[in-house]
Structure formats: structure tokens, C-alpha cells
Amino acid sequence: MEEEQQGIRTEICSSGKEKPKSDQLEFGTIFTDHMFMMDYTADKGWHDPRIVPYEPLNIEPSAMVFHYGQSVFEGMKAYLTSDGDAQLFRPQRNFSRMNHSNSRLCIPPIDEAFALKALKQLVGLEKDWIPEAEGTSLYIRPFIISTEAFLGVAPSSHYKFIIILSPVGAYYKEGINPVKIAVEHDYVRTVKGGTGEAKTGGNYAASLKAQEMAAEGIAQVLWLDGVERKYIEEVGSMNVFFKIDGTVVTPALNGSILEGVTRNSVIQLLKYWNVPVEERKLSMEEVIQAHKDGKLEEAFGAGTAAVISPIGELVRGEKHIEINEGNTGAIAKRLYDTLTGIQYGKIEDPFDWVEKVKDLKQTTLKASG
Ligand code: COI
């Protein structure tokens, strides 16, 4: 069954997959029936936008992405409200960040407004896949890969922009419970002038070794700056915040830290609540000293996948720094409740962050059947 909706060719697949039980979801293992795709060639620009059944891609082994890693991605979520509506959280920021990453990776920019329209159409069609259980959502993964069949090192002249959807539960098995994070000393994630503030696969590949070497029970590693190995950067799957003597401090964006959408939302909420918040350089020594002085009150990570993830313990070599006696702090809890409250439509959204998505399943099926 094929039709055209708002310039997007839509091919409905007839055999729907079985939906998972929403209270048993893990992160990123199940994918929905359809995906969005469009192509880029140097002569036509971005073209042939389409929603098609989710299936393996047919790509040449010589496609440049496999060899030189020219790719970018984003992460966002669709939430189901108690009224049964689907909504997105600040999706424009993700597409605008995608273009920022595109620019760093020499990938041609996408039309952000069109990408949002395509996303809404895909999510509207797959609305039945948004899980209902508390803390679950439909994770959205837009990504671009270079597909030209060529082994020279140069920007590709062919790309695919794809959006896939995955019903998910909590990113960390700990859920909202505090995680243990190891401070990384031997490896670095990126340096200034590198690709750290772009969301590109290579940054994540570079992070795997440290994660593998970290001890059992460590959820993630905390990266320090790549030059002095002194200043805190981010965790890789989330930005980090430390509450020191009443002030919430987060590393300033310095060119090697990802500008998180949740990070920005946390800062806005803290300002709105008149909680002192600072974006600045923060050394590991300062955190250790604050802990010694009894002034390290809380630590938490913030990201789309992780939401707000309290940090109960920092491990640095033999040293273990327990934070807030390993418990979730009051600020982390308030942020989690407020962000998820806005995302699931349970509380008022004073910032106009959420965007409703129309249910298209019925109209599309009627139109095509
Ligand atoms: C997200 O929070 O959406 C991310 O992209 C982090 C991730 C690598 C799971």
C-alpha cells in the first residue's frame, strides 16, 4: 500500500510485528514497523523522502561510512500522555544540533522544519508503539550515513538520512536509582578542536575501551579534559552536574562537550526555581575537596536516554567518593519529576517545550485501504 502525504511517500507494511510488554522493556533492542528515509546526492540534494517498512539496508561494502566513519546521529523521545496523546520534547533543538554535527563532519545540512514534519508523520503512524508503563517512551534515533562507494578520504557525495524508532525502558538498569561512575585517567574521549561537541559515532567508539576496562558495577566513565586531564567534561551518554555548597555547577561548553538538550532544560529549570547554577570549568580536585569539606551535596547526569541519573559514587583508582550517602538528592529528584512531568503531560509546561503529534494510524490506514 503506497500513498503520498505532505510530499512524503508512505509505504505501509501490512504485517505488524508484535508489540512488547511495556513493563519489560530494555533500552534499544526492539524497533517499530516503519522508518523514515531520504537520500542525498550532489546533483539532486536531499530527495525522495519516504516512510517505508523497517528492514535491512542495501548498502555497498565500499560505502564510505564503513571506512571513515562519516556519520552523525541524534536521540530524542516520544511520550504518551494519560489522555492518550503523543508528544515530543524540544525536537527542534535536536535537528538544529544535528546540523551543527553535520557541519563538523562535512555532511550537507538537512531542512530542520522538514525533518520535524517527517518525524511527526512517522511517530503519528507508529503511535501504537509508544509504550504506556511509567518511565517508558518511544526512543527516536535520527541518523545520517555517508553511502558513496569510494575508498578515497574525502567527504562523500551520497548520504542517507534515516529515522528509526524503538520502544524503551530505562537506559541504566539502576533506573532512577544512583549509579556508580568511574573517573577515567588513561583514556580521553576527545580534545578541543576534535569532534567532541558533534554527535558522531566515532566519539562513542573512542569511549568503549575505558568502559570495558572499568570495574564491575560501574555504569559509565566520567571523562576529564584531554589536555590536562584535570577538568570534568561529561559522561558520554549524559552531561554532568555537581551541587557544591548550594550551587549547581556544570562544565561550561568548551568545544569538546556535547550541548545536551536535557542539560539546557536543567539549567533553565534551575534558573526558574532560583537555584544558583553555574556553567564553568570544574576540576576533579575541586569536587574531591568539596567532598572532604562536606560540601559536595549531590551529583547527577542528564541526557535524553538517561533523563536524570543520580550519581551515588565516584570511583577514582582506589578512592571511592560516596555522594549524598549513595542516595538520590532532592534537586535530582525534583528535576526528574518536573522533566518527566512535562514530557508525559502531567504538569504544566511553562516553557512551551512539548509538541503534540497527531495520530495518523487511522487516517493512513483508511486512505490506503
Ligand atoms: C541520548 O541520550 O539520546 C544519547 O544519544 C545517548 C546515547 C548514546 C544513548
Give the position, in ligand 1's atom list, of the atom nearest the Cα of 73.
Answer: 5
**Cα 350 to averaged position of ligand 1 atoms, centre (Å):** 25
Which residues are paired to 219 by β-bridges? Answer: none
Which protein residue's CA is at the shortest distance from atom 6 of ligand 1?
237
162 and 207 share one domain? no
213 lies in some domain: yes
225 and 144 share one domain? no
224 and 247 share one domain? yes
Which residues are paired to 63 by β-bridges? Answer: 149
Element (H, E) at 250: strand 247-251
Cα–Cα distance, 203 to 114 (Å, whole number) = 27
Predicted confidence pLDDT, tens digits, the chain (369 residues) = 566 666 899 999 876 788 999 888 999 999 999 999 999 999 999 999 999 999 999 999 999 999 999 999 999 999 999 999 999 999 999 999 999 999 999 999 999 999 999 999 999 999 999 999 989 999 999 999 999 999 999 999 999 999 999 999 988 877 778 999 999 989 999 999 999 999 999 999 999 999 888 877 888 999 999 999 999 999 989 999 999 999 999 999 999 999 999 999 999 999 999 999 999 999 999 999 999 999 999 999 999 999 999 999 999 988 999 999 999 999 999 999 999 999 999 999 999 999 999 988 766 655 554
185 lies in some domain: yes
**What range does the domain containing 148 cover?**
2-173+354-368
How confident is the model at residue 369, as a pLDDT?
Answer: 45
Cα–Cα distance, 60 to 147 (Å, whole number) = 8
**Cα 138 to averaged position of ligand 1 atoms, centre (Å):** 13
Cα–Cα distance, 172 to 101 (Å, whole number) = 26
Pocket of ligand 1 (CB under 6 A): 75, 204, 237, 303-305
Give the position, in ligand 1's atom list, of the atom nearest the Cα of 204.
Answer: 8
**Cα 263 to averaged position of ligand 1 atoms, centre (Å):** 13
185 and 307 share one domain? yes
217 and 360 share one domain? no
Q: Which of 255, 189, 261, 244 is nearest to 220 (CA)?
A: 189
Which protein residue's CA is at the shortest distance from atom 7 of ligand 1?
237
279 and 139 share one domain? no
347 lies in some domain: no
The pTM (predicted TM-score) of the whole model is 0.94
**Amino acid in position 303:** G
Give the position, in ligand 1's atom list, of the atom nearest the Cα of 262.
Answer: 2
- Whether the CB-CB separation of 79 and 87 falls below 8 Å is answered with yes
**Cα 94 to averaged position of ligand 1 atoms, centre (Å):** 12
345 lies in some domain: no
95 and 161 share one domain? yes
305 lies in some domain: yes
CA angle 323, 325, 331 (to 5 degrees): 65
64 lies in some domain: yes
156 and 290 share one domain? no
How confident is the model at residue 300, as a pLDDT?
Answer: 97
Give the position, in ligand 1's atom list, of the atom nearest the Cα of 76.
Answer: 3
154 and 243 share one domain? no
Give the position, in ligand 1's atom list, of the atom nearest the Cα of 260.
Answer: 2
**For the residues of 163-192, what is the DSSP string, one character each?**
EEEEEE--SSTTTTS-EEEEEP-S--S--T
Cα–Cα distance, 224 to 194 (Å, whole number) = 15
**Cα 87 to averaged position of ligand 1 atoms, centre (Å):** 19
Which protein residue's CA is at the shortest distance from atom 8 of ligand 1?
237
Q: Are strands 296-303 and 307-316 parallel, antiparallel or unpaired?
A: antiparallel
**Cα 175 to averaged position of ligand 1 atoms, centre (Å):** 15
Cα–Cα distance, 72 to 246 (Å, whole number) = 37
Q: Which of 304, 308, 343 to mutate to test the pocket of ligand 1 (most atoms within 8 A of CB)?
A: 304
Grid cell locating 283: 576540576
- Whether the CB-CB separation of 11 and 54 falls below 8 Å is answered with no
Q: Which of 88, 223, 235, 237 to mutate to test the pocket of ligand 1 (most atoms within 8 A of CB)?
A: 237
87 and 235 share one domain? no
Give the position, in ligand 1's atom list, of the atom nearest the Cα of 75.
Answer: 3
Cα–Cα distance, 143 to 323 (Å, whole number) = 36
Cα–Cα distance, 234 to 69 (Å, whole number) = 22
Q: Which of 39, 22, 8, 18 is nearest to 123 (CA)?
A: 8
CATH classification of the domain holding 183: 3.20.10.10
344 lies in some domain: no
157 and 19 share one domain? yes
Q: Please count the structural domains in the chain.
A: 2
148 and 13 share one domain? yes
**Cα 4 to averaged position of ligand 1 atoms, centre (Å):** 32
322 lies in some domain: yes
Give the position, in ligand 1's atom list, of the atom nearest the Cα of 28.
Answer: 9
